[in-house]
Amino acid sequence: MFAIPTVFLTGLTFVSDPPIKLDFTLSISSASDDLEYNAKYSWDATGIDANNGVTSIQWSSKSASAKINSQGQLTETIKSYFESVTISLETTLLQENGEWSINLQKQLCSGVSMGVEINGDESEVSEITPYLISSIMPVSLKSALRSIGLYEVDLVVKIEFHIRGDLLEEGARNLGIVIDFWTGLVSKTVEVSLGTLSALGD
C-alpha cells in the first residue's frame, strides 16, 4: 500500500497590484550640509468614472500620508509640514485617437504645490512631467529651516505610475470611443529636480 503525501500550505498570500497606482517620493535636501528629508506617498484607484462626457479617476483617497525614509536634523525639523500630500485637482482626458492624459495638482504644504501631467496612448505611458505651481513657503517653515542654518533647499521628486489598459478602454467606450487598448499594466517612472526653494524673507 502506498502512502498518500500530504501537502500543507502555510502563510500563503497572493498579492496583486491595484489597477491604478501612483507613487510619489519627495526629497528635500541641502547639498552643502548633506541633510535630507525623504518620504514616499502612495495613491491607488479602482477605475475610471466616465459619465456625461466627464472622466475622473476613482481614487480610494485624495490624501496620502508620508512614509519617511530619512532621519536626522532636517527630517525632524520639517516633517510636520509634509505629513500628508493631497491631490487637490485631477482631470482625465480620453481622445478618439487613443491618446489620453491625466493632470494632477498636489498640495505639498501650505504655499507649495505642484502639478503632474501623465500622457499615454493605447499601448504605453509615454511621458510624466512634474512641475511647480507655487513655491512660496510659509513663514514658519522658512524660520524652521533657518533655525538649523539652511537658507535654501533643493527639491527632487520621483514619480511612479501604472494603469491597467482595459480600464482606459472601458472609460473610452463609455464616452463612445471604440479603441483596443493593451489590456495589461502600462507603467513609467521619472525622477526630476524641481529646483531650489528659498528660506529667505518673511
pLDDT tens digit sequence for 97-153: 999 999 999 999 999 999 999 999 999 999 999 999 998 899 999 999 999 999 999
pLDDT band at 58 (very low <50, low <70, confident <90, very high): very high
Tell me the mean pLDDT in the region 1-25.
60
Distances (CA, A) of 166 to 9, 25, 54, 82, 178: 33, 27, 18, 34, 12
Which are the contacts of 57, defined by CB distance < 8 A and separation ≥ 6? 20, 45, 47, 48, 49, 90, 92, 102
Say if 1 falls within a structural domain. no
d(CA 159, CA 151): 26
4 in a domain, yes or no? no
pLDDT value, residue 52? 72
Mean of the per-residue pLDDT values for the chain? Answer: 89
Range of the domain at 148: 20-198
Average pLDDT value for residue range 184-201:
93
What's the structural domain count of the chain?
1
Residue 64 lies in a domain: yes
pTM of the shown model: 0.88
Q: List all residues 6 or more positions away from 199 whose beta carbon is below 8 Å from its beta carbon.
A: 137, 141, 142, 145, 146, 150, 151, 152, 153
